[in-house]
Amino acid sequence: MADLPFVPFSPVADDRGVTPCHPEDVVRAYLDKGWWQAETILDVFDGWVRARPDAPALTDPANLAALTGAEPEALTWRQLHDRVEHTAAALYANGIRQGDVVAVLVPNSVALVAGYLALWRLGAVATPMPVSYRGHEISGIVAASAAVAIITVETLPDRELAREVSGLGLRTVFTFDPAAVASLHPDAVADREPMRKYVAGLAVTINDRVTICWTSGTEAAPKGVPRCHGDWLAIGWGPQDGLETGVDSVILNPFPLVNMAGFAGSLLPWLLGGGHLVQHHPLDLPVFLGQIQRHGVTHTSMPPALLTMLLQREDLRGLADLSSLQRVGSGGAPLPPGVVRDWQERFGIEVLNFFGSNEGVSLMGAPADIPDPVLRAQHLPNYSSGRTWASRLAANTAVRLVDPVTGAQVREAGAHGELRLKGPAVFGGYLPGTATSAPFDADGYLCSGDVFELCGPDGQYLRFVDRLKEIIIRGGMNIAPAEIEGLLLDHPVIAEVAVVGYPDPVLGEKCCAIVVPKPGASITLGELTDHLRARDIASFKLPERLELAAVLPRNPVGKILRRQLRDELLGHA
């Protein structure tokens, strides 16, 4: 069990310029208990390069040329190592050093993975962003993370990314244009010897920060989530144990490789298992299904809505031979029990139930733990129930449900409480300056903001009920209503506004803006979205429905009653 005492941690960069993620006594305890190993992400990668140099390692999306203009590549472990060395040499030649933070704005590709590994080789920190982000989000993250450079592509359809980021005051903009001064293109000249000498002299620890991912909470601005080598490898063993990936596995990754969904669902199971990672971006169903057939994909991830659609649409399933598929991870929304059952009974494909966050551990309903697909669709393991679970995270992760009103721990089946977690896969705290409150309780448990029900006669299962937080999840992307509301309140005819989610059969949720216009004024959805587009926000955050109201319901202290608004929107009031 994760029984370490909790001490608030204020990270400070050391004499190497590197910021740790956890106090040193916590790291020593994790190592002593065997919860962390004394190896870095690069140690794991280099191990596969030595063991499987000529085996397939990484493949680009089939439609990469249409996306960025680059021709798709497929690399072996040896070739990937060579690409990482080349990329690290180019980064080093242009001033990237240990402890530097580098923003990354690259679609899922060989180049993205090689870029991460090259930054980590140099001891630098990657702060990744979805390519759907625009100036509003990019500039805020660059400023909050103190990024010194950015890695991006020249163009995407209808966008010139390199030009968009050129005015952010960054020291260097790295692109894959072979003619660019700071080029990461494989044909660009890069002397590797200076980089190799520098890397050979680096002092590296598993507690060194390697990523700053971003998550939206109830606050308007995104929060930075620093992670180290030890964090990510501890997290990775959870899904890897459930997916049971190995050297023969072919993993197809459809989620943006920028946070927990992409890292825990695909990158880490690939890296720990030593198989073949096939990248996909953006979600294009015919391309996605074609990749399954072409590469003999054994493992992938799909949101519940896509699983449901494919099950219902024989014409879509007929686009490709899916017989190689063994296991599919899914999460982000409740899984329909009948869908999980039918995938298993009709097609022999097991669906795993995942639940996680950038800050916390990934809970996982695996077939080894919950063989019944109907039960597995609705439940996750309670790691503190005393049972032995498939994931090695279970034995060292403490789980509590806490009544959000009384603060009492929930112990009886059928009762609800906020999920709280403690252990070696839980992060050490938000990036200073990006959060307004601490995410831990007095005992050091991460307060997830998610409500679960304690289930089973011995409390061995957890069932997701609702979110305490107000996040809207559209196609796996988090939207903070407060951010959108703050921008909309600048509109000259809007007096009040609330943004809430409403169900969508494909994306899970979409945004609805409920607007109180100023007296005598009116507004249309088009005018509202034009106002937001002028602020250069990501398109996925745009409201797709507008409702006008005379007043917004509020509680006695003035907070908007979002649950009431959602119920009224759905006609349940």
- Establish if 422 belongs to a structural domain: no
Q: Does a structural domain hold residue 428?
A: no
- Containing domain of residue 191, as a range? 40-204
Three-class SS state of 276: strand
In a domain, 330, yes or no: no
Residue among 322, 79, 85, 293 at smallest CA distance from 194: 85
CA separation (Å) from 479 to 265, 476, 499? Answer: 20, 10, 10
Predicted pLDDT at 564: 87
When pLDDT is averaged across residues 156-165 and rounded to a whole number, the result is: 93
Asked whether residue 266 is assigned to any structural domain, the reply reads no
**Last residue in a domain, options 204, 232, 248:** 204
Asked if pLDDT for residue 556 goes beyond 60, the answer is no
Strand 363-365 relative to strand 380-381, pairing: unpaired
CA–CA dist 71, 75 (Å, integer): 13
169: CATH? 3.40.50.980
Under 8 Å between Cβ of 125 and 89: no
- Can you tell me the distance from the alpha carbon of 8 to that of 439, in angstroms, rounded to the nearest whole number? 11
pLDDT at 113 > cutoff 50: yes
Name the CA dihedral angle for 19, 23, 28, 33, rounded to a multiple of 10 degrees: -120
| Segment 378-388 mean pLDDT | 94
Give the rounded distance of the alpha carbon of 389 from its chain centre.
Answer: 24
Q: Could you tell me if 125 and 102 are in contact, meaning their C-beta atoms sit under 8 angstroms apart? A: yes
**For residue 312, what pLDDT is reported?**
84
pLDDT at 69 over 60: yes
- Cα 256 to Cα 254: distance, rounded to the nearest angstrom: 7
| Torsion angle (degrees, nearest 10) of CA 15, 21, 27, 33 | -160
**Final residue of a domain: which of 174, 204, 234?**
204
Residue 1's pLDDT is what?
Answer: 44
Residues 305 and 474: their CA atoms lie apart, in Å, by 11
Q: What is the 3-state secondary structure (H, E, C) of 369-421?
A: CCCCHHHHHHCEECCCCCCCCCCCCHHHCEEEEECCCCCCECCCCCCEEEEEE
Backbone angles phi, psi at 367, to 5 degrees: -60, -35
Which CATH number characterizes residue 518's domain?
A: 3.30.300.30
Phi-psi region for residue 59, left (φ > 0), alpha (ψ -120 to 50) or beta? beta
State the Cα–Cα distance between residues 548 and 565, nearest whole angstrom: 12
Interior angle at CA 4, CA 381 and CA 422, nearest 5: 30
Sequence-distant (6+) residues with CB within 8 A of 420 are: 399, 400, 401, 402, 441, 445, 446, 447, 448
What pLDDT shows up at residue 218?
39
Alpha-carbon span 560 to 552, nearest angstrom: 7
In a domain, 397, yes or no: no
Residue partners of 183: CB distance under 8 A and separation at least 6: 90, 174, 175, 176, 177
Spatial CB neighbours of 313, under 8 Å, sequence gap ≥ 6: none
pLDDT at 571: 79
Rank 404-413, 418-427, 434-443 by mean pLDDT and report only the highest. 418-427
The verdict on whether omega for the bond into residue 282 sits within 30 degrees of 0, i.e. cis, is yes
Q: Are 119 and 40 in contact (CB under 8 A)?
A: no
Taking the CA of residue 135 as centre, how many other CA atoms within 13 Å lie in the half-sphere pointing to its CB?
15
Asked whether the beta carbons of 130 and 258 are under 8 A apart, the reply is yes
Query: Is pLDDT above 80 for 445?
Result: yes
pLDDT over 80 (residue 54): yes
- Phi, then psi, of 74 in degrees rounded to 5: -135, 120
Taking only the tens place, the pLDDT of each residue in 164-223 is 999 899 999 999 999 998 999 999 999 999 999 999 999 999 999 999 999 864 345 789
Average pLDDT over residues 87-108: 98
> Could you say which of 162, 183, 204 is where a domain stops?
204
Matching residue, tokens 């997701």: 464
Say whether 422 sits in a helix, a strand or coil. Answer: strand
Q: Phi and psi (nearest 5°) for 397?
A: -120, 125
pLDDT score, position 216:
61
The answer to the question of residue 538 being in a domain is yes
pLDDT of 5 above 80: no
Q: So what's the pLDDT on residue 443? A: 92
Nearest to 499 by CA among 536, 525, 466: 525
Q: 16-20, 218-222, 288-292: which range is least confident on average?
A: 218-222
Q: How far apart are CA 165 and CA 263, in angstroms?
A: 25
130, pLDDT greater than 70 = yes
Q: State residue 117's pLDDT score.
A: 98
Average pLDDT over residues 384-398: 92
d(CA 156, CA 133) in angstroms, rounded, equals: 12
Q: Is 169 helix (H, G, I), strand (E, B) or coil?
A: coil
* Rounded CA separation 423/397 (Å): 5
Percentage of residues in the chain having pLDDT higher than 90: 77
DSSP string, 344-364: HHHH--EEEEEE--SSS--EE
φ, ψ for residue 243 (rounded to 5)? -70, -25
Quote the pLDDT of residue 217: 45
- Residues 258-280: tens digit of each pLDDT: 999 899 999 999 999 999 999 99
User: How far is Cα of residue 14 from the mean position of the Cα atoms in its chain?
Assistant: 28
Confidence category of residue 7, pLDDT binned at 50, 70, 90: low
Single out the residue of 517, 512, 501, 513 nearest to residue 563, CA to CA.
501
Question: What are the C-alpha distances in Å from 189 to residues 91, 116, 183, 192?
Answer: 12, 20, 9, 9
pLDDT of residue 471: 75
Beta bridge partner(s), residue 497: 515
**Does pLDDT of 572 surpass 60?**
no
In which residue are the tokens 């509020």 written? 554
> Could you tell me if residue 112 is inside a domain?
yes
Does some domain include residue 299? no
Using alpha carbons, select from 279, 246, 209, 207 the residue that is nearest to residue 61: 279
Q: Which of 324-333, 438-447, 482-491 has the lowest mean pLDDT?
A: 482-491
Give dist(CA 213, CA 360) in Å, integer: 13
Q: Residue 429, by phi and psi: left (phi above 0), alpha (psi -120 to 50) or beta? A: left
Number of structural domains, the chain? 2
Helix (H, G, I), strand (E, B) or coil at 568: helix
Q: Which residue has the tokens 């880490």?
A: 268
Supply 146's token pair: 């103190």
Distance CA 480, CA 217 (A): 6
